[in-house]
Amino acid sequence: MPPAPLKLTRERKLKRCGHGSIAGVDEVGRGPLAGPVVAAAVVLDLKRVPAGLADSKMLDADRREALFREILAHAEVGIGSVPAAEIDRINIRQATLLAMCRALAALPCIPDVALVDGNDPPKLPCPVETIVKGDAHVPSIAAASIVAKVVRDRMMRRLAERFPAYGFVSNVGYSTGLHLSALTQAGPCPYHRRSFAPVRLAADCPTFL
């Protein structure tokens, strides 16, 4: 069953209050053992909102890809990322907030207000409203979650071509049996997050075949 249609309640309320440009902001990739954290900022054209926007986790890959194309065709989109080495230097929370800042900075202009998924506001050059589970309720944030997910998945598939043993093509860097087994056998690749405990342990005690 497809997710229930999302309503533009918050976006329309902000428009009525005089805000002209409203960005939804979300990130993907806090939990994986490898790869970047990726964020997106999306300013929807409220007259051309793609049908079927939803939390990216509730959509299959084909539907995400189709919505991704529609979002890019009809909305302003900014994308930001923080690679594994930088995550290790500044920690995953700071990296997530930084990715959101970079995504917003990649928009053509600074929005009047940013609607951010979660409860941890990044320091943006505009007013910020955080919304817990915003990707499941607010179309602008749902659109950002879809963009971030598609972009990060594509990045991880490219890494899978270089490092096939870890199963990145299916696990996109998350902890799975195959991924952990590969870490145990061969240690981490350059795109693993060495500050994360399973990777740190594997780096200290690899068992090479």
Query: pLDDT tens for residues 96-142?
Result: 999 999 999 999 999 999 999 999 999 999 999 999 999 999 999 99
Closest C-alpha to 137, from 64, 73, 58: 58
Structure tokens at 49: 């909102």
Q: Is 165 exposed, middle or buried (0-12, 13-18, 19+ CB in 10 A)?
A: middle
Confidence of residue 205 (pLDDT cuts 50, 70, 90): low
| Domain count for the chain | 2
Same domain, 172 and 141: no
pLDDT of the residue at 2: 63
Where residue 118 falls (left for φ over 0; alpha for ψ -120 to 50; beta otherwise) is: left
In 83-161, DSSP assigns E strands to 113-117, 128-131
Same domain, 67 and 117: yes
Residue 179 has pLDDT above 70, yes or no: yes
Residue 209 lies in a domain: no
Residue 22 lies in a domain: yes
Residue 114, domain extent: 9-158
Same domain, 167 and 193: yes
Same domain, 174 and 100: no
Q: Whole-angstrom Cα distance, residue 108 to residue 110?
A: 7
Residue 151 lies in a domain: yes
Residue 72 lies in a domain: yes
Residue 180 lies in a domain: yes
pLDDT of the residue at 203: 79
Q: List the CATH number of the domain containing 17.
A: 3.30.420.10
pLDDT of the residue at 209: 38
Same domain, 49 and 143: yes
Residue 31 lies in a domain: yes
Closest C-alpha to 87, from 190, 202, 196, 204: 196
Same domain, 124 and 182: no
Task: Indicate the pairing of strand 113-117 with strand 128-131.
Answer: parallel
pLDDT of the residue at 208: 44
Confidence of residue 4 (pLDDT cuts 50, 70, 90): confident
Q: Whole-angstrom Cα distance, residue 60 to residue 51?
A: 15
Same domain, 144 and 177: no
